[in-house]
Each structure stands twice: as C-alpha cells, then as structure tokens.
Amino acid sequence: MQIFHYPIHVPYPGSKNELIGKGLAVPVRINRGYKKGNITLFEITPAGMVYAKIDKVEISGKDGLEHKYWQHIIRAHFQKQGFYTVIGQCFCGKNVDVGLEKNGAKWAVEIELSPDNILVNVEKDAAACQKIIICVRSEKSKEDYEDRVKASFSGEFIQKVTFEILGNFIPV
C-alpha cells in the first residue's frame, strides 16, 4: 500500500481524478478535528500496483489507512516528548496501536475509530501497562466511550485510562 498525500504534484490537471477513475487509487478523506481541516490521502489499489509494477508496499500499522495515519501522527507526537515509541507494540501478548515506554513505564495508546473493541482493549492493556490512552474522533465519542468504560470497570482500571481527541495530536 502506498500513500500519496494531497495536495500532490500532478503533471496535468485532473490526473488524480484519472487515477481514481481508472481504479488505480482510492481517496481516503480524514477529518483531523475542529479547526484542523480535512486531508485526503490516496491509497494505491491492487490494479494500481500492477500498473506501476510494484510488488508490495508496506505501511506499518494495522487496519485501514485512516487508522495507520493516526498511528503515525501519535507516534511522532510522543517521540517529541522523549518516549520510545513502537507502532503495534506487543505488551504481554497483545498488540497495542502505539506502545510508549519512558522511565520504565509502559503506556498503551488505542485508536478507537469505532466502539467495537474498547472494552476488550482496556481489559487486556490494563494487565500490562501503567497507563492507557484511548484516542477518539470527537468530544461526543469521548463522552460515549468514557461512559462505556466507567460502566464496565472500576478501581485500578479506571485510574489507568485517559481519553484524548485525535485532532489534539495535530499542531495548530
């Protein structure tokens, strides 16, 4: 998978539309949060890889392009703060979206674009990490996810969990 960041240099007007129209690339629009705007990334399709004579392109991370985008943004944010960061870090047999380590403490960052795995992630991460940061798209999602976690866990689990809005990791 190859990422093209928009705006890209195009040799002639409409070339990105031509790539999309021929099924060689697919646009992926990402909302970066309040007052941060949207960006569009372009993901090369299998037909695009054949056309470009590319065997395989890997982008570290898991799930879709939007999820991988946020993994890299968050990783860069915490690296600047002096953390050792790994995308897809394995803590006690479970991979976290971004693993953070500093001064012997292990933190898990989970990017929750849907609520499907939040409770399982918190339970498994709490066994291996001192802190869990749940990153969500909006204030509304943050409130909803906090309510879900508080309704299911108490005590030490709740003390370990904090919630952040993804757009907060984008500098203004």
What pLDDT score does 85 carry?
Answer: 95
Range of the domain at 108: 65-169
- CATH assignment of the domain containing 82: 3.40.91.50
What pLDDT score does 105 carry?
Answer: 93
What pLDDT score does 133 carry?
Answer: 96
What pLDDT score does 76 carry?
Answer: 94
Q: Measured in Å, how far apart are the chain's first and last C-alpha atoms?
A: 29
If asked whether residues 110 and 164 sit together in one domain, one would say: yes
**Average pLDDT, consecutive stretches of 10 residues, N- to C-terminus, the chain (172 residues):** 43 70 87 82 84 75 84 95 93 88 94 90 89 94 93 85 93 72
The pTM of the full predicted model, rounded to 2 decimals, is 0.82
What pLDDT score does 14 carry?
Answer: 63
If asked whether residues 71 and 127 sit together in one domain, one would say: yes
If asked whether residues 111 and 37 sit together in one domain, one would say: no
If asked whether residues 100 and 46 sit together in one domain, one would say: no
Q: Which long-range contacts (CB under 8 A, 24 or more apart) does 91-96 make?
A: 91/125, 91/128, 91/129, 92/124, 92/127, 92/128, 94/124, 94/125, 94/128, 95/62, 96/121, 96/125, 96/129
What pLDDT score does 48 carry?
Answer: 82
Is 59 within the bounds of a domain? no
What pLDDT score does 3 carry?
Answer: 45
